[in-house]
Amino acid sequence: MSYMSSLSVEDLDNVVLTTRQLNSTTSPIPSFRDEDTLDSPDSRRKYDVFLSFRGEDTRSSFTSHLYFTLQTSGIIVFKDDHSLQRGDPIPTSLLRGIEDSRISVIVFSKNYANSKWCMNELVKIMECQRTIGHRVLPVFYNVDPSEIRCQTGEFGKSFQNLLNRIVPEDELMAVKWRDALREAGGLAGFLVLNFRFFILRSYLHFK
């Protein structure tokens, strides 16, 4: 597995650019006059991007900046506190939001795997990647991709905290969580270290 050399950026342009490129490789949203393509899967998707993140880690920092930058670039984003209607059952609405989006941007952070909702989102995201061509772009926020793949380091401890709380009927789901982490941790994406200084590495050439 080889990586590109690191590069500095002034803002989140590289993440946004990659998202736009991924979005452009999917079928464009058709005009309502284009009756031949109205029934295509992409024509029924309401969002360009689904943002998956752990609120306590990144909601008021990286994720809020990413959301704003994507929105101002004309990208329609599903973010739980902006896209859910009052009274929606949150887990169902989040899972539906994934299906209704072309791309998922997963912001992996130290406590991401300590959330059952986040882990169920991840399983759904990876399922949609396999079954409906959903695109996935991981962002590794102050965690190394190997920690996600192998559930080690502080990320692994966070995941173990979740496993310690599950009930017996969740044990099968825990296997799916591990599989999804291994799969997502091996995808090309971005490593963000020390966001205050906007240091970004791109992981675009995995072998």
What are the residue numbers of the active site?
A: 121
Cα–Cα distance for residue pair 198/141, rounded to 1 Å: 11
With CA atoms as reference, report the closest residue to 3 among 143, 202, 150. Answer: 202
Instruction: Report d(CA 176, CA 124) in Å as an integer.
Output: 10
Measured in whole angstroms, the distance separating CA 58 from the mean position of its chain's CA atoms is 13
Which helix (DSSP H) or strand (DSSP E) does residue 23 occupy?
Answer: helix 13-24
Q: Which of 76, 75, 84 lies closest to 55 in space, CA to CA?
A: 84
List b or e across 185-204, with b for residues whose CB sees 16 or more CB atoms inside 10 angstroms: bbbbbbbbeebeeeebbbbe
